[in-house]
Structure 1
Amino acid sequence: MTIVSAFLLPGSPLPQLRPDITPWGRIREGLSRAGKALAESKPDCVLVYSTQWFAVLDQLWITRARSTGVHVDENWHEFGEQAFDIHSDCALAQRCVDACNAAGIKTRGVDYDQFPIDTGTITATTLMGFGSASLPVVIAANNLYHSAEQTEQLGAIASAALQDKRAAVLGIGGLSNSAFRENIDLEKDHILSEADDKWNQRVLALMESGDIEAIRAILPQYSTEARPDMGLKHFYWLLGAMNASFKKATVHEYAPLYGSGGAIVQFDVQ
């Protein structure tokens, strides 16, 4: 099987920048556990889709061998900066570009010095321990005009393009996406509303049970009522990459991120 491990995780920088805050520290610990599981699956590369890397005109892929710099998140700049040094497998990324174009999805590579890598990708590579020369990434953008179905197709195309490789796949993005609009006691952070919390836990329970059809059935209502990050497009990406099949899932952590919902989920793809 091409995909040897699969994970859904939040893109917030808070677990990296302020792990001293209890709920954010729990997310950081969950990312560490997921990183160990990823390494144990022995992938050749990590296939990444982050809802925070926005594309508009075309589907984009990073085709630069090494991306370095210092990033300051646009929302959480007061908590500090994130240095990054991320290695990409350019040949594999080009395969994905070619495969997407062949499927009729207008696609191109991005190879620019100091190109702005998004917060979610930086946080994931840093806290989960990949993106090195020995375990490079293949990074896809979130085209804002792609539907959930098109995003699932994108994941399937990428997985097929890497069929001779062992790949871990990540979908980076949050659950309920409503945040506090006022200052709060950070140690008392919680999911903004009880309704959001119930929705998140319902979806996570279905993931744990591997009930894909039930998840598909409730996602439209979940998207309307809990407003998950980008309509949970990152989960559709994972479904596409996993050939719409997984046996069960393990929730490594679920915690608030300034009112929004964040979870680290590992899918059993064996």
Structure 2
Amino acid sequence: MTVVSAFLVPGSPLPQLRPDVAPWGRLACAMRAAGAALAASRPDCVLVYSTQWMAVLDQLWITRARSIGLHVDENWHEFGELPFDIASDAPLAQACVQACATAGVHARGVDYDGFPVDTGTIAASTMMGFGGTSLPTVIAANNLYHDGAQTEALGRLAAECAGRQGKRVAVLGIGGLSNSMFREPVELEQDRIISEADDAWNRRILDMMEAGDAAGLRDQIPHYAREARADMGFKHFYWVLGALDGRLQGARVLEYAPLYGSGGAVVEMMAN
């Protein structure tokens, strides 16, 4: 068995930076619980896709052995800094680059000191506890020209590369649900999903995940992306679905809460 666990988690830094705010604190607790479940599955590495690492020309993969730095989120800089220390499974990342070429996808590795790792990847690795050298990652960029189907194919490709190397992997899709935020100041403790329509869509999609309704999700996600502005077309879900070879046995929603009007959820997907 290659994929031993799989998760969807939000890419917002708010649960890490301000866990004292009640809804964000609940998400922080759920992120830690997801991290414990990930560790318990005993993976050799984590396959990571974040909607916030955007690429245009090529499909990028981090091939640098270790990325260390201090990050300030471009939106929530007033709440503090985000130190990070992330190790990469460079041989597996290189294999993914080569497999992309075979599949006709332009790809290259990223191996630069000080390369700007995105907020979502930093927050997830820190809160879920796989930073440092404890557990290496393979991090794939969100190519803006790739749709859900192409992203699903990349998730499948990464899992297949891991299988050929005999590695057990956890799969992580980092991104949000509905993606409309308040544009005016609101009391943080009064945070809520910005509209009833967005909330209804989020709950519908989460219910379908729990039911393992992959066919229904494929049908509804385009509508969800259009009507609730789902984060980057919900491509982080397609990444996980691809790694699971298109099969969804069910899911467990660990938490669902607002993130300054947008929707965030921590979801553990059934990997077998």
* TM-score, L = length of structure 2: 0.98
* Residue 257 (structure 1) shift: 0.2
Following superposition of structure 1 onto structure 2, how do residues 137-176 of structure 1 map, counting pairs within 5 Å?
A: 137-163=137-163, 164-176=166-178
Question: What is the alpha-carbon distance in structure 2 between the residues aligned to residue 85 and residue 214 of structure 1?
Answer: 38
Question: What is the alpha-carbon distance in structure 2 between the residues aligned to residue 88 and residue 262 of structure 1?
Answer: 26
* Residue 269 (structure 1) shift: 1.2
Q: SS of the residue aligned with 1:135? A: strand
Q: 1:139-197, CA deviations, whole angstroms, 9 ceiling, x for partnerless residues?
A: 00000011111111111111101002100000000000000000000000000000000
Question: What is the alpha-carbon distance in structure 2 between the residues aligned to residue 113 and residue 9 of structure 1?
Answer: 27
Following superposition of structure 1 onto structure 2, how do residues 255-270 of structure 1 map, counting pairs within 5 Å?
A: 255-270=257-272
Partner residue in 2 for 1:233: 235
Q: SS of the residue aligned with 2:134? A: coil
* Residue 247 (structure 1) shift: 1.1
Deviates more, 1:113-122 or 1:129-138: 129-138
Partner residue in 2 for 1:108: 108
* Residue 217 (structure 1) shift: 1.0
Question: What is the alpha-carbon distance in structure 2 between the residues aligned to residue 131 and residue 245 of structure 1?
Answer: 29
Gaps of 5+ in 2: none
How big is the alpha-carbon RMSD for the aligned residues of Structure 1 and Structure 2?
0.6
Question: What is the alpha-carbon distance in structure 2 between the residues aligned to residue 7 and residue 264 of structure 1?
Answer: 7
In 1, are the aligned partners of 2:84 and 2:131 still within 8 Å (CA)? Answer: no
In 2, are the aligned partners of 1:189 and 1:258 still within 8 Å (CA)? Answer: yes
Counterpart of 2:87, as a letter, is H
Identity over aligned pairs, percent: 66
* Residue 131 (structure 1) shift: 3.1
Partner residue in 2 for 1:80: 80
Following superposition of structure 1 onto structure 2, how do residues 146-225 of structure 1 map, counting pairs within 5 Å?
A: 146-163=146-163, 164-225=166-227
Counterpart of 1:244, as a letter, is G
Q: Which of structure 1's runs of 4+ aligned residues deviate more than 6 A?
A: none
Q: SS of the residue aligned with 2:141? A: strand
Counterpart of 1:239, as a letter, is L
Q: 1:55-84, CA deviations, whole angstroms, 9 ceiling, x for partnerless residues?
A: 000000000011011000011111111001
Q: SS of the residue aligned with 2:215? A: helix
Partner residue in 1 for 2:42: 42
Question: What is the alpha-carbon distance in structure 2 between the residues aligned to residue 100 and residue 260 of structure 1?
Answer: 33
Question: What is the alpha-carbon distance in structure 2 between the residues aligned to residue 30 and residue 9 of structure 1?
Answer: 9
In 2, are the aligned partners of 1:49 and 1:142 still within 8 Å (CA)? Answer: yes
Partner residue in 2 for 1:250: 252
In 2, are the aligned partners of 1:30 and 1:264 still within 8 Å (CA)? Answer: yes
Question: What is the alpha-carbon distance in structure 1 between the residues aligned to residue 212 and residue 155 of structure 2?
Answer: 19
Counterpart of 2:224, as a letter, is Y
Gaps of 5+ in 1: none
In 2, are the aligned partners of 1:88 and 1:131 still within 8 Å (CA)? Answer: no
Counterpart of 2:254, as a letter, is H
Asked if 1:96 corresponds to 2:96, the answer is yes
